[in-house]
Structure 1
Amino acid sequence: MQPWLTDLQQLLTRGDAVVLVTVARAEGSAPREAGAKMIVTRESARYTIGGGHLEWRAIEIAREVLRDGMRVPHLRRLERLSLGPSLGQCCGGAVVLAFERLDVRDLDWVAALAKRVHAGTTTQRSVSFSPSHEPVRLADADPGTRAPECLLWDGAGFDEGDVQLTETIAARDFPVVLFGAEAVGTAFARVLSTLPCRVSWIDADATKFPPQLARAQWANVTIDVKAAPEDAVDTAPPGTAFVVMTHDHARDLVLAERILRRDDFLFFGMIGSRTKRRQFEQRLAAHGIDPARIARMACPIGIDGIDDKAPEVIALSAAAQLLQAVEAARAAPPAVPDQPFSMLQPLTDHDTDTC
């Protein structure tokens, strides 16, 4: 789910008027990419289009649109801002910002878009900035489109009245299956709760999970108690990131073999030492796993150069490595049908075994 879309739907349902600010175009060096969004209300601003004076000026303009829109339904406005001395920013580029005043009358298309994104449907949203205030249009994205993009079609210029913003909104969250609910697993689940992913957190012992009150804000984390956690490997969708953070080496080996017999995972990482890795390499090879596939296992998990074994440090390092894998997969050329993600992962050379 897109967090900004969830917040937008809640605000409109409550009857609030808001301004949706979108980076419609980024020229040269800019703090955020085209498609980045911010929501501005009379009292607050949520999310960011880059911070600094750019954002301060964007909020100022948004509140003007919010006020002027009380007389003009569906008021929309475009502004080109240079990121130089006039804004006190050193990026040197420029951005075109799109401002859309929304209220309860926009709830239908916002709810429809939220439903499509929740279902994983990549959607094209088109917004006209002509004086006629045409309604927002939603349509299926072109076949094969898998990445978000944002294009501003400005014809002969902003003053010609034929400007249109077309953006592709794709579900950005990715599935994660996390095994282990002890200290490191809990720290990692806490980090994942702040990221755009859907987490299935699995352990055989229900008492290891933190109390519900402690995880009340972890909306994207689902707890699953399984007597045989390895069964969750087979039911996970293609493109899943598997992370093993238990302290049961025998179970870890079973999980590793089950995961590596699939060839459609986004990422596979496991806490452990270099010694544990060498032992697992030998045993997995003896079980018939191709060494090239074993090489995809990130164990010890985490980015290179961070050796601290505190659970919170391991969790942040592992999350950074996972995000690297996600970015690499999204940047990779379209894959063949039976291999939806690039799965080659860099190996690390440090221990994350907390035993």
Structure 2
Amino acid sequence: MTGLATFLEAHLEQGAILVSIERAEGSTPRETGATMVVTAEGNSGTIGGGQLEFHCTDIALEMLASGESSRRLDIPLGPQMGQCCGGRVGVVLERGRPCHLAALQAAEAARRASQPAVLILGAGHTGRALAEALMRLPLSVILIDDREGQMHDLPVGVACQRLDDPVEAIASAQPGTAFVILSHSHALDYRLTEAALLRGDAAYVGMIGSATKRARFAASFRRRHPASDALACLTCPIGGDDVDDKRPEVIAALTAAELVRSLLAKQRASGQSVAQGRQGPGRRAGDDGVAA
């Protein structure tokens, strides 16, 4: 997926219009700051789709043809616009310049640096499917395995790492990392899950498995760490147990939704707190490991 900065850079000389939401009131398709780039050859990004986006694209194309440099719009999202959101947006359209490119590049770098980290520990069928499901989301994802030759034929853009002992990745991860554990071995799953839980600062710890597998792990964990309450932070099975479908792609889709809800909701809540300060068990099998 091409970033806005890359797209703008490729079309800066021939002409491009940046279309941005500078004000969003009430119910709107996108938030303040949402941006797309319009050129005579096509667009990149979105300000929410629908008639709002069609209307702004038409105006941007008019600006490209006439040489107009900037325009501001105040648009109610009601019947006249063919939208039923009911909110109102302020839109700014500007001819792309090098300063816009630099700003987009800086913003994209900042977003990448702030994206929640997800370590997928196990590059079997489900681990690979999960990496593919997450690669287009605003998450920093690394697929890790201890086996040679396990990282072949991965889609472009999926970061991967082979470690003799994947526990090293857990030990060196940043606070707030999410750990998804679905290796080829129950014993390795247990060791990785224990290490992730004992950190005490993970945003998410999930282990593929069944009710039996969870119970066995929990019994072992309590014997080894009787004073710890970290088990309350374990998600097992990953993806929930309300869909009885063990295909890797299905488990990956359910787990991806679970991670988005967990990580991005926490990220949003954390951002809101900063702004205010300034003013069960189930069943799931799959992957190489057997959910006993």
Common topology (TM > 0.5): yes
Name the structure with the higher helix share: 2
Displacement of 1:293: 1.4
1:273 pairs with 188, 210, 215, which one? Answer: 210
**For 1:193-219, what per-residue CA distance to the aligned partner results, in whole angstroms no more than 9, with x for missing partners?**
1112222211111322232xx522x2x
1:40 pairs with 38, 41, 46, which one? Answer: 38
1:25 pairs with 23, 26, 44, which one? Answer: 23
Does structure 2 retain, via aligned residues, the 8 Å contact 1:21–1:98?
A: yes
Partner of 2:267: 330
Q: Which runs of 5+ in 2 are unaligned?
A: 274-279
Displacement of 1:189: 0.9
Amino acid at match of 2:101: V
RMSD of the alignment, in Å?
2.6
Partner of 1:226: 163
Amino acid at match of 1:202: I
Amino acid at match of 2:34: A
Q: Secondary structure at the match of 1:20?
A: strand
Runs of 4+ in 1 over 6 A off after TM superposition: none
Q: Pairwise mapping of residues 137-286 of structure 1 onto structure 2 (< 5 A)? A: 171-211=113-153, 214-216=154-156, 218=157, 221-286=158-223
Question: For 1:92 and 1:25, how far apart are their aligned partners in 2?
Answer: 14
Residues 191-200 or 253-262, more deviating = 191-200
Does structure 2 retain, via aligned residues, the 8 Å contact 1:301–1:352?
A: no
Question: For 2:250 and 2:14, how far apart are their aligned partners in 1?
Answer: 40
Partner of 2:62: 64
Amino acid at match of 1:43: E
Q: Which runs of 5+ in 1 are unaligned?
A: 121-168, 337-346
Does structure 2 retain, via aligned residues, the 8 Å contact 1:273–1:353?
A: no
**For 1:114-148, what per-residue CA distance to the aligned partner results, in whole angstroms no more than 9, with x for missing partners?**
25753x4xxxxxxxxxxxxxxxxxxxxxxxxxxxx
2:242 pairs with 305, 308, 331, which one? Answer: 305
Q: Pairwise mapping of residues 86-97 of structure 1 onto structure 2 (< 5 A)? A: 86-97=80-91
Partner of 1:162: none
Distance change (3 Å), C-alpha of 1:190 and 1:290? farther
Distance change (3 Å), C-alpha of 1:112 and 1:327? closer
Q: Give the number of aligned pairs.
A: 282
Does structure 1 retain, via aligned residues, the 8 Å contact 2:210–2:281?
A: no
Does structure 1 retain, via aligned residues, the 8 Å contact 2:128–2:143?
A: no
**For 1:91-110, what per-residue CA distance to the aligned partner results, in whole angstroms no more than 9, with x for missing partners?**
1222111112104x43xx63
Question: For 1:239 and 1:187, how far apart are their aligned partners in 2?
Answer: 23
Question: For 1:34 and 1:304, how far apart are their aligned partners in 2?
Answer: 37
Does structure 1 retain, via aligned residues, the 8 Å contact 2:145–2:163?
A: yes
Question: For 1:4 and 1:349, how far apart are their aligned partners in 2?
Answer: 42
Which TM-score applies when normalising by structure 2? 0.87
Displacement of 1:331: 3.0
